[in-house]
Amino acid sequence: FDGHSARRIDELSVTSHWLRYLGAADDVLYEGSFEWRSTSWGTVYRALLADFGNERYHLGETCVGFDQDADHVELRFVTGRVERADLVVFADGITSTGRRRLYPDVRPRYSGYVGWRGTVREDRVSDRARALLADSITYSVAPNTHVVMYTIPGMDGELDYGKRLLNYVWYRNVADGAELHELTTDIRGFESPVSLHPGSVQQRYIDEMRAAAAEQLAPAVAEVIICTEQPFLQVVSDTRIPGMVDGR
């Protein structure tokens, strides 16, 4: 953003200065100097919308197809909108329309584990946990699993201490097949093979996840996970594509 936006990068991110590993009793197993900036999708999207405006940043549009020639790309959207462009960059995630069209034989492959995710405001955890997790990217490692936790701007982009969010990803092994299918079935009974959003995970799995956190993880890290009101999860997949550029 710096030099290209009305917003400075330090207005959109939280800086951490330490990399820290916590043990089973919150003992510091390792600590090293390590500067890193963290932000959130909401913070970035709001900044981009402010920079580009509604005339160039189009909300509610989903690309469903495209055709290209040597000079242009024609994109078709679910609303019926059609646009022509000189260059198109697809940044639409694991279910990418662009990848499916350009490389139809490439399929994401399940990695063997899922990521439990969530955020908690800093002022909702104990002073002790907040101090241990402050100003760092923090890891808690147990057999066959680990968590990474760090601070991001608050829900509305707040950077004030106490109003920011503690964000985490907890990687847990889940066998492919029936076990994974059951876990990724939401509270309505529909299977969601890519991700389950906040409020859609079956309560029994949330209860099991919280109990496992208390048993396996550093107490400060477990406290954040247990305090998460609506944890969600993402299925982690691997994909290898033959190229990053194809025509326009």
Which pLDDT score is estimated for 119?
98
Pinpoint the residues of the chain covered by CATH 3.30.9.60: 9-42+108-238
Taken as a whole, the chain contains a residue count of 248
Residue 116: closest CA among 181, 197, 39: 197
Position 63 pLDDT exceeds 70:
yes
Structure tokens at 63: 């690309």
Q: Residue range 88-97: average pLDDT?
A: 90
Structural fold of domain 9-42+108-238: D-Amino Acid Oxidase; Chain A, domain 2 (3.30.9)
Q: What is the pLDDT of residues 103-133, one digit of tens each?
A: 999 999 999 999 999 999 999 999 999 999 9
- Summarised one tens digit per residue, pLDDT across range 38-53 is 999 999 999 999 998 9
What is the pLDDT, as a whole number, of residue 214?
98
**What pLDDT sits at residue 2?**
66
How much is the pLDDT for 203? Answer: 98
pLDDT of 1 reads: 67
Looking at per-residue pLDDT, the higher value among 220 and 101 belongs to 220
**29-38 pLDDT tens trace:** 999 999 999 9
pLDDT per position as a tens digit, 225-245: 999 999 999 999 999 988 888
- In whole angstroms, what is the distance from residue 207 CA to residue 44 CA? 32
pLDDT at residue 24 above 70? Answer: yes
- 41 burial via Cβ count (<10 Å: 0-12, 13-18, 19+): exposed
Distances (CA, A) of 55 to 1, 51, 52: 20, 11, 7
With a cut of 90, say whether residue 224 has pLDDT above it.
Answer: yes
DSSP the chain: -TTTSSS-GGGS-EEEEEEEEE-TTS-EEEEEEEEEEE--HHHHHHHHHHHH-TTTS-TT--EEEEEE-SS-EEEEETTS-EEEES-------TT-HHHHHH-TT---EEEEEEEEEEEEEGGGS-HHHHHHHTTEEEEEEETTEEEEEEEE--TT---STTTSEEEEEEEEE--TTHHHHHHTB-TTS-B-SSEE-TT-S-HHHHHHHHHHHHHHS-HHHHHHHHH-SS-EEEEEEE---S-S----
Instruction: Name the average pLDDT for the chain.
Output: 94
Residue 14 has pLDDT above 90, yes or no: yes
Strands 165-173 and 145-152, how do they pair? antiparallel
Q: Is the pLDDT of residue 4 over 80?
A: no
Segment 140-157 shows an average pLDDT of 96
